[in-house]
């Protein structure tokens, strides 16, 4: 940890953590950043084993998870498609945790569409004002589908709708960051 001076509060927290162990207590510390309490521990029951080599830091530790809410998605995306459009069938077939892909389009304005990873069919889009953190999209997984209907839409947008009810996918976007501040090795 980022132990500085070994204050009384830190020592109490360290002690409380140790006393909560039921059968086995395993404590680890970095070679370059030991805490002030572990060197004082000496008992026949304590075994210190140095690692033979540095452990590689998994890239997944730097991943960020963004749960998209209703404000983050285009609520009328599927509603603006006619009843027989493939988007409605694709949305009906989506399950929880289904994989989606992001597709950046260059229509009137740049937007990000969410497409079924299974067949590439667009099933939704991010709202114009949705801003994802910088980084590479690792995965997009469906959390839930929200049922929307014409009467929930603003009157100015309702005239663009071609169906009375449709599904809106909400998902979690996993983003990998190339600019991680965490050390590469522990």
The model's pLDDT over 13-64, given as tens digits with 9 standing for 90+, comes to 888 888 887 777 777 777 667 777 877 778 887 787 877 777 777 888 889 9
Higher pLDDT, 149 or 50: 149
pLDDT greater than 60 at residue 124: yes
The domain segmentation of the chain, as residue ranges, is 1-50, 62-176
Burial 11-23 (b: 16+ CB within 10 A, else e): eeebeeeeeeeee
- The per-residue pLDDT for 38 is 78
Higher pLDDT, 162 or 6: 162
**In what order do the strands lie in the sheet containing 64-67?**
64-67, 165-176, 136-149, 99-106, 110-116, 122-125
- The per-residue pLDDT for 186 is 40
Beta bridge partners of 122: 115
- The per-residue pLDDT for 132 is 92
Query: pTM of this prediction?
Result: 0.68
pLDDT greater than 80 at residue 115: yes
């Amino acid at each position: 940890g980022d132990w500085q001076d070994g204050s009384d509060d830190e020592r109490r927290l360290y002690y409380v953590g140790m006393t909560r162990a039921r059968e086995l207590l395993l404590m680890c510390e970095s070679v370059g950043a030991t805490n002030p309490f572990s060197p004082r521990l000496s008992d026949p029951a304590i075994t210190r084993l140095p690692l033979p080599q540095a452990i590689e830091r998994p890239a997944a530790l730097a991943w960020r998870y963004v749960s998209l809410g209703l404000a983050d998605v285009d609520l009328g995306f599927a509603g603006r498609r006619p009843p027989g459009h493939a988007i409605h069938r694709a949305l009906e077939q989506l399950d929880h945790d289904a994989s989606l892909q992001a597709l950046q389009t260059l229509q009137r304005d740049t937007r990000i569409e969410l497409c079924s990873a299974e067949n590439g069919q667009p099933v939704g889009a991010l709202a114009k004002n949705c801003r994802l953190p910088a980084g590479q999209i690792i995965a997009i997984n469906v959390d839930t589908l929200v049922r929307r209907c014409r009467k929930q839409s603003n009157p100015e947008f309702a005239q663009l709708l071609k169906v009375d009810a449709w599904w809106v996918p909400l998902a979690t976007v996993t983003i990998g960051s190339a600019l991680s501040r965490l050390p590469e090795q522990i």
